[in-house]
Amino acid sequence: MNPPSSDAKTWLVTGGAGFIGANFVLKVIADGVRVVNVDKLTYAGNLDTLAPLAGNDRHIFVQGDIKDRALFQRLLTAHKPEAIINFAAESHVDRSIDGPAAFVETNVVGTLSLLEAARDYWRSMEGPERDRFRFLHVSTDEVYGSLGDEGRFTEATAYAPNSPYSASKAASDHLVRAFHHTYGLPTLTTNCSNNYGPYQFPEKLIPLVIQKALHGEPLPVYGDGLNIRDWLYVGDHCSAIKKVLERGRVGETYNVGGNAERTNIDVVRTICSLLDARRPLPSGKPHDSLITFVKDRPGHDRRYAIDASKLQHELGWQPAQTFETGIAQTVDWYLSNQTWIQRVLDGSYRMERLGA
Ligand code: NAD
């Protein structure tokens, strides 16, 4: 049974109907937290993901935009959360190539508006409540730009964003930093590598490939397929955010990574072999016969790799999944949740190429 709401601590989450935000909301509500979940419900936000929370009095969903400062003033005063966790963003690099303005609106202007509401709320608090309050901003390793064959991003790596998406996230990170230094707002920032796992919108590499492979469609691989990403299972990312929120040092940033560098072509081949074993193609051919190399993404960063040793040493966090265990669970989840996929693909996106 759920404990009475008055006993539970309250966190305000933005973007909690998206991929990572929803995984986080489902996890922390199971842990006993009360969540006020504010999401605009763009194409990437799906209430179906939150269906397991129907009737749970520790989940309060509000459809709203992080730019709506008056809405946040009302919600903060009414619910008095101990923390704000900002997941809300436009998140797809290819879409940022086609239309960068929406990325500036939400990721930069929206984050600024949310910071202003958070600052005013925090200033209105007193004593232990004020000391306890945290603003945690979820960001990306893409702000650091691209790596050569050697080295990994640390928290001291200079920002060098290359896409409109990463530039907008970098701007938001700088605003978070400035609100700590200028106003004293107790902020925390996490910069993580590419996430994968349940409930990811099928425009991103891993769910897109699973979905296309299941239907025997060509599997598009950008360029030579040798771009490297450092994959992080979404459940591990959520446990890292929770740890940083509860124990991170105010004003600090923490890198989060899964120690799982893989080339894109390796990722696609791994998915193909898992599907060969679980759902062979009617033709009897292996799924990797569907791989098709396509024109590269403009400005495609070559390699990302995360050094997460600060988070490991300071806060004792470790990823629980290897890439092999995480990707097998992910393929199994998509095989068992085809209804979710059909419902989120509501007709506005048909898994076509974007940002070419
Ligand atoms: P997502 O696109 O799946 O979800 C984003 C959510 O934000 C959606 O539910 C959407 O409706 C909501 N949203 C968008 N604009 C909004 C607005 N103006 N106001 C309120 N809600 C709005 O994204 P995700 O993959 O879950 O990413 C979450 C966060 O993590 C983002 O900040 C992203 O930059 C960051 N991140 C993601 C990854 C990754 O691999 N997915 C990696 C590093 C960092």
Q: Is 65 in the pocket of ligand 1 (CB under 6 A)?
A: yes
Residue 99 Cα to ligand 1 midpoint, Å, equals: 16
C-alpha distances out from residue 181 to 44, 139, 177, 251, 289, Å: 33, 18, 6, 8, 54
What value, to the nearest 5°, has the Cα angle with vertex 202 and ends 62 and 63? 10
- Main-chain phi, psi angles of 221, to 5 degrees: -120, 125
Over its length of 356 residues, how does the chain's per-residue pLDDT go in tens digits?
344 445 789 999 999 999 999 999 999 999 999 999 999 999 999 999 999 999 999 999 999 999 999 999 999 999 999 999 999 999 998 899 999 999 999 999 999 999 999 999 999 999 999 999 999 999 999 999 999 999 999 999 999 999 999 999 999 999 999 999 999 999 999 999 999 999 999 989 999 999 999 999 999 999 999 999 999 999 999 999 999 999 999 999 999 999 999 999 999 999 999 999 999 999 999 999 999 999 888 888 889 999 999 999 999 999 999 999 999 999 999 999 999 998 888 766 666 767 77
Residues belonging to the active site: 141-142, 165
Determine which residue's CA is closest to atom 28 belonging to ligand 1. Answer: 87
Q: Is 86 in the pocket of ligand 1 (CB under 6 A)?
A: no
Atom of ligand 1 nearest to the CA of 200: 3
Q: What is the pLDDT of residue 4?
A: 44
Q: Which amino acid is at 310?
A: K
Q: What is the pLDDT of residue 8?
A: 83
Helix (H) or strand (E) segment spanning residue 195: strand 195-196
Q: What is the pLDDT of residue 2?
A: 43
Q: Of 14, 23, 25, 42, which is best to mutate to test ligand 1, by the most ligand atoms within 8 angstroms of its C-beta?
A: 42
Q: Of 67, 91, 344, which is best to mutate to test ligand 1, by the most ligand atoms within 8 angstroms of its C-beta?
A: 91
Determine which residue's CA is closest to atom 43 belonging to ligand 1. Answer: 140
What value, to the nearest 5°, has the Cα angle with vertex 37 and ends 34 and 42? 160
Residue 43 Cα to ligand 1 midpoint, Å, equals: 11
Q: Which domains does the chain have, with CATH numbers?
A: 10-196+233-258+304-321 (3.40.50.720)
Residue 104 Cα to ligand 1 midpoint, Å, equals: 13
Instruction: Look up residue 107 and give its two tokens.
Output: 């990721």
Q: Is 18 in the pocket of ligand 1 (CB under 6 A)?
A: yes
